[in-house]
Amino acid sequence: MSELNLNAFLEKADPDILKKAHKNKVVFVDLNEVHPNPLNMFPVKDVERYAENIMMTGLLNPITIINDPAGYTIFAGHTRFAALNKLIEQGYHYSYVGEDITGKVPALIIPPFENEHEERIAMIASNYTKNLTNEEKEGLIDECVDIINAQRIEDTNVKGRTAHIVASMLPFAENFIKTYLAKKKREDIEHAEEQQVMQTQKKNYDTICKEMERLSNNLNSFDWKNSDIDKRRLVELYAALKELLDERLGG
């Protein structure tokens, strides 16, 4: 069996892609030509605060965008992009290195990735230094697990503990990752058990409905003129059934 080589795993993703992008010339692109990245797994938060800072000091750093056939897609800088849009919505102007660029965003352009798999890896490798809450860290761990599982499907000989591989991809303590993955596994098992109970209950419900439908059909087809009918017994059974249904249905 082969061991998953993380360096080879991330090689195509190019963790230094942002550093290389900063060597390129900054271009100014209309805000309406830039689109958020549907693959972005990082939270867009504190937009109001970012907008206020931009109002006070101007935009200090360009965003990074991917130039693909569909147009310009954000690779890094979703929060800055959202802050600029908020300033536009509120009718404010903003600047970059002292120049008014209202309506535009300074950007560094990188070429498109070969596939979504590589793009997701690159985004993790380039952006994971952000301040994240535990919940946001857990979401990022999930992204890494998805990527690792996809890699294992491509190469069934890949081995290595998932928590250890994730710890190599993210700057989180391996114990934090292990604890989260163990909790998630328990939750998945509990969810599966709940689903099983729900399926069993539905099956039982369907059986009850069929039995009551069969009973209804028998009642309609029965010869009620038969002199041997024990009416009292029927009334008692009906009362017991009605009481049970009212109890179960909250009637």
Kindly report, residue by residue over 131-146, the tens digit of the pLDDT: 778 888 888 888 888 8
pLDDT of residue 11: 46
Share of the chain above pLDDT 70, in %: 86
pLDDT of residue 17: 55
pLDDT of residue 28: 94
Mean pLDDT confidence for 194-221: 90
pLDDT-based confidence at residue 22 (cuts at 50, 70, 90):
low
Pick the closest to residue 143 from 110, 113, 166 (CA basis): 166
Mean pLDDT confidence for 209-217: 90
Three-class DSSP labels, the chain: CEECCHHHHHHCCCCCHHHHHCCCCCEEEEHHHEECCCCCCCCCCCHHHHHHHHHHHCECCCEEEEEECCEEEEEECHHHHHHHHHHHHCCCCCEECCEECCCEEEEEEECCCCCHHHHHHHHHHHHCCCCCCHHHHHHHHHHHHHHHHHHHHHCCCEECCHHHHHHHHCCCCHHHHHHHHHHHHHHHHHHHHHHHHHHHHHHHHHHHHHHHHHHHHHHHHCCCCCCCCCHHHHHHHHHHHHHHHHHHHCC
pLDDT of residue 3: 43
Kindly report, residue by residue over 126-182, the tens digit of the pLDDT: 766 567 788 888 888 888 888 888 877 776 666 778 888 888 777 788 899 999 999
Measured CA to CA, the distance from residue 48 to residue 20 in angstroms comes to 30
pLDDT of residue 44 exceeding 80: yes
pLDDT of residue 9: 46
pLDDT of residue 2: 41
pLDDT of residue 210: 92
Taking the complete model, does pTM exceed 0.75, yes or no?
A: no
The residue with greater pLDDT, 6 or 118, is: 118
pLDDT of residue 10: 45
Measured CA to CA, the distance from residue 28 to residue 107 in angstroms comes to 6
pLDDT of residue 12: 46
Mean pLDDT confidence for 97-112: 92
pLDDT of residue 239 exceeding 70: yes
Q: Mean pLDDT over all residues of the chain?
A: 83
pLDDT of residue 230: 83
pLDDT-based confidence at residue 6 (cuts at 50, 70, 90):
very low
